[in-house]
Structure 1
């Protein structure tokens, strides 16, 4: 919002009105976020602000969410590595692992690759219908530096896939709905407060940092574990 205001600083009377659509799965609770936005959007008549209208859109981004040609800019924040489902055909072939691992057989890695290709292609195809001609989008998600070798390659598996840059580029170009302007790999530490380029990942407070990382992992792992195992496990202990 500050950036847009700076761009319009020569004519504050022409500040645009913006609509922002926040998307997550239906189980997500938007209430706290809406309360924060309501508080931050109060100007008390002190200064002219960009008018912001915020909406919550529950649903999977692997399905249609918006009318055709309705979005000017789309931003996916740390989401597209989540698959629409656990890859088909895993069964108990990945016994002893919950994700692709050194001990996983080749068909496990192949199943994850195929699921990601289907999901990401579908996401691009649907968003191409929703975004305006000349619109832009920025996608940020977990990746990896290279392909897993097949040579290195039972009940619970993670529906997550971290593609390498070559895979992302190949799918975007192969699907054909978008041009790829820029791709950048950004190394993001678990604890942004304790890590920087000068201390070689040294952690200043290991207890606080450990709790932060644990809570971060729990945020996305607890629903998966609770859904799969139900009351047969103690989520707090796990």
Structure 2
């Protein structure tokens, strides 16, 4: 990508409530959150709560839609349950919804089921809400201000595409591919891994400043079960389909080859070991749980054509803004039509890759300073 193209200025899920919006095309995330809910509730149940006037929660990479509000309710109910069980005075609950500036915060706040009585006392599962725009690779909150952080389906996004994969003179140049491929150069996967390591270190440094001692982070993001970084699971399979769709458009003269060759997807699926090593190297957090969690979700489809259309809609909701910002809005409809066709043609392989996919569940506690 060109040097003046900054991902944090354009990256967001499709806003609004249209047929291609993220709010209407995040069923996989919804199913995954049902699987994650017991882990989320258990982690809060294990926290050491202390009396405080305000208990602060942050959802990093919150996006917008029903899943965002459902997670906030789960967390707030679990916190209230814990305080009630301990017999400690119930603090006010403050939830910070944080994402990049392009996120549809308007939709998010219009959807809040929040009503505070005239006396100012919050009822069950009510919380004070605020939005925080910015990159979680940097500081977002004051020092020692957060008690619990949640982030799902976000930390695999990189702050930038590794520069070397776009440098034709580099052994890591990705050529006509748009993502890591199991048939591609190992140097490409290694470059992506280095960028992920750099970004996660920045994330941990920032959160170490913001989370109180004894505070917890519940993180879930795209990951892989195996050790080889070229085996990117569902992300790799989607990248392969998108690559085929782009090739079709280049062959048809809709997109210039050089423009396609300069585009690469800015995310990476790490292994649990890679994440654990970075957390332990940083030393600011203690690992409570670190594992690859298989989603193994069943998808109800009528035909390969229906499957291709469904997957195209889901990933259009995730990638449209990024792709439109780089190639222009005029390519979006045609690109995802071809994506649907290619997904239909490769339905069996793609279906198995997505169904057997999963992510890294990292539950970590802010260590006490000496």
Cα distance in structure 2, aligned partners of 1:137 and 1:181: 10
1:43 is displaced (CA, Å) by 7.4
Give the unaligned 5+ runs of structure 1. Answer: 196-200
Compute the RMSD of aligned alpha carbons. 2.7
Report what 2:272 is aligned to.
165
1:230 is displaced (CA, Å) by 2.0
Give the unaligned 5+ runs of structure 2. Answer: 1-75, 231-260, 336-370
Matched, 1:41 2:114: yes
Report what 2:314 is aligned to.
216
1:44 is displaced (CA, Å) by 7.5
From 140, 143, 158, the equivalent of 2:220 is 140
Cα distance in structure 2, aligned partners of 1:149 and 1:208: 31
CA pair 42-205 structure 1, distance change in 2 beyond 3 A = farther
1:98 is displaced (CA, Å) by 0.8
1:3 is displaced (CA, Å) by 3.2
Report SS of the residue matched to 1:236. Answer: helix
Cα distance in structure 2, aligned partners of 1:7 and 1:175: 29
Report what 1:90 is aligned to.
165
User: Is the contact made by 2:139 and 2:206 (CA closer than 8 Å) also made in structure 1?
Assistant: yes
User: Is the contact made by 1:43 and 1:49 (CA closer than 8 Å) also made in structure 2?
Assistant: no
User: Is the contact made by 1:74 and 1:136 (CA closer than 8 Å) also made in structure 2?
Assistant: yes
Q: Which moved more, 1:114-123 or 1:176-185?
A: 176-185
Report what 1:104 is aligned to.
184
User: Is the contact made by 2:190 and 2:229 (CA closer than 8 Å) also made in structure 1?
Assistant: no
From 192, 204, 226, the equivalent of 2:324 is 226
Cα distance in structure 2, aligned partners of 1:5 and 1:187: 29
1:211 is displaced (CA, Å) by 4.3
Q: Which structure has more RCO (C-alpha within 8 Å, separation ≥ 6)? A: 2
CA pair 48-220 structure 1, distance change in 2 beyond 3 A = closer
1:4 is displaced (CA, Å) by 3.8
1:165 is displaced (CA, Å) by 0.8
Cα distance in structure 2, aligned partners of 1:235 and 1:229: 8
From 331, 334, 349, the equivalent of 1:237 is 334
* Higher-helix-fraction structure: 2
